[in-house]
Amino acid sequence: MSDNVSIPFLDLVGLHDGLEKELISVFQTALKTAGFVGGPMVDQFEREFAHFCDVTHCIGVANGTDAVRFALMAAGVGPGDVVVTVPHTFIATTEAISQTGARPDFVDIDDRTHGMDPRKLRHFLERECKIDSISGKPIHRRWNAPVTAVVPVHIYGQSVDMDPILELARRYRLIVVEDACQAHGAEYYSKMDSRWKKAGSMGHAAAFSFYPGKNLGACGEAGAVTTNNPEIARQIRLLRDHGQSRKYYHEVEGYNGRIDAIQAGILQVKLRYLTEWNRQRREAATGYHALLERTCSCLTLLREPSWSRSVYHLYVVRTGERDKLQKHLTEAGIGTGIHYPVPLHLQDAYRSMGFRRGDFPIAESVAAEILSLPMFPGLTVSQQKRVVEEVASFEGIGDTLSVQSATTA
Ligand SMILES: *Cc1c(COP(=O)(O)O)cnc(C)c1O
């Protein structure tokens, strides 16, 4: 029977319980060496995270937004450019684009994966751009500005279908910066290369956030860029540290965008658990899927494509009755989230850009129907059963018995 013990959307306290000693010793090391900015803890974390992502360079930065911004700038995006991304993402993606001086534009998402639809990107490049006869680069017809980069977002922890996007990028000479801020450890099967690839290793560069709630989270703010390109890596090292290559010699004007050394030390500790935590998230997702499929007919479940190994930063379901279902679950003590309720092209912040309702219909209907269920490492099977029982009781079609039999079948 369902008791009324509440289930949080995300349990960060339980996650850190067993790590207290290790995390405190990071702080003690920082105190004893006064190594608060830069230093060996940063270098070691960068090496280990680069290894984890299968890339040659990792540059720690202050947060995920800086990571997207520096990656774009270092790869050559600047004022006057157009950068294409999706409207179904956190606003940091487009904030970072705007901060480079470029202008964001959007293509719609795929109805099944909720990631960038490569066909929509192709349509955009073919129909809304013309090719500059001298540079061979696409020019945005309406804005008369060069389209220089694309930012696919690995939303919910699942890689975008990258092969066709990389192919288009090659053809149209676009820079590709992956927004991997939700996808630490996600994998994509590339048919072009006949192998699984890590999120963060596929574009010219990729951005990660270590905001506390991400799959790999700091105890504060942090982010990183990954790349296989040594020149991009060098530029980002300049940009994050006031443009200096050595103290007080500034090659360019940069930013204060460095990673905090204590956070790097904490991330180094937590990185050792990430593979296991991601495994637990995948297991929980499989559990939800089996339970929901058998008991909750009014939900649309997202299927993992064969080319994807998601790390389930979020477990998202879809229903036309989203707001009512969320209210029902809240009253039952079950935490949920909506990631995200308003697509970026309809945000007040972008009102002046002239987008309209109907411009990106898939993103709009997804935003109206999605609900993120509790998902974190350590989420128990009985907690999941209770979540599913409450969803079923909302539908009025399920009961405890069918939930029980679904798990034992
Ligand atoms: C979290 C997130 C960011 C920004 O990261 P911060 O560390 O909060 O700056 C960017 N893009 C996406 C998709 C994110 O989820």
Hey, what long-range contacts does 382-385 have (CB within 8 A, 24 or more apart)?
A: 383/7, 384/284, 384/287, 384/288, 384/291, 385/291
Mutation pick for ligand 1 pocket among 69, 93, 109 (CB with most ligand atoms within 8 Å): 93
Q: Whose CA is nearest to atom 5 of ligand 1?
A: 64
CA angle at 62 for the pair 58 and 66, rounded to the nearest 5°: 80
Could you tell me which of 259, 408, 388, 321 has the C-alpha nearest to residue 400? 388
Say if 13-268 and 275-393 have the same CATH topology: no
- Separation of CA 77 from chain center: 21
b/e map of 66-102 (b: 16 or more CB within 10 Å)?
Answer: bbbbbbbbbbebeeebbbbbbbbbbebbbebbebbeb
- Separation of CA 176 from chain center: 15
Is the Cα torsion angle 274, 277, 282, 288 positive or negative in sign?
negative
Backbone torsions φ then ψ of 371, nearest 5 degrees? -145, 130
pLDDT at 168: 98
Give the whole-angstrom CA distance, residue 362 versus residue 112. Answer: 10
Reply yes or no on domain 275-393 having CATH 3.90.1150.10: yes
Q: Whose CA is nearest to atom 10 of ligand 1?
A: 92
Give the whole-angstrom CA distance, residue 307 versus residue 190. Answer: 7
Domain 13-268, CATH number (from 3.40.640.10, 3.30.720.200, 3.40.50.300, 3.10.129.10): 3.40.640.10
Beta-carbon contacts of 313 under 8 Å, excluding residues fewer than 6 positions away, are: 156, 157, 182, 183, 214, 215, 281, 375
Count of beta carbons in the 10 Å neighbourhood of residue 204: 20
The domain spans of the chain are: 13-268, 275-393
Q: Whose CA is nearest to atom 14 of ligand 1?
A: 181
- Residue 92 Cα to ligand 1 midpoint, Å, equals 6
Residue 214 Cα: closest atom of ligand 1 = 1
Q: Whose CA is nearest to atom 4 of ligand 1?
A: 64
pLDDT at 173: 96
User: For every one of its 409 residues, what pLDDT tens digit does the chain have, with 9 covering 90 and above?
Assistant: 445 689 999 999 999 999 999 999 999 999 999 889 999 999 999 999 999 999 999 999 999 999 999 999 999 999 999 999 999 999 999 999 999 999 999 999 999 999 999 999 999 999 999 999 988 899 999 999 999 999 999 999 999 999 999 999 999 999 999 999 999 999 999 999 999 999 999 999 999 999 999 999 999 999 999 999 999 999 999 999 999 999 999 999 999 999 999 999 999 999 999 999 999 999 999 999 999 999 888 899 999 999 999 999 999 999 999 999 999 999 999 999 999 999 999 999 999 999 999 999 999 999 999 999 999 999 999 999 999 999 999 987 444 444 554 544 4
- Residue 176 Cα to ligand 1 midpoint, Å, equals 17
pTM across the whole model: 0.95
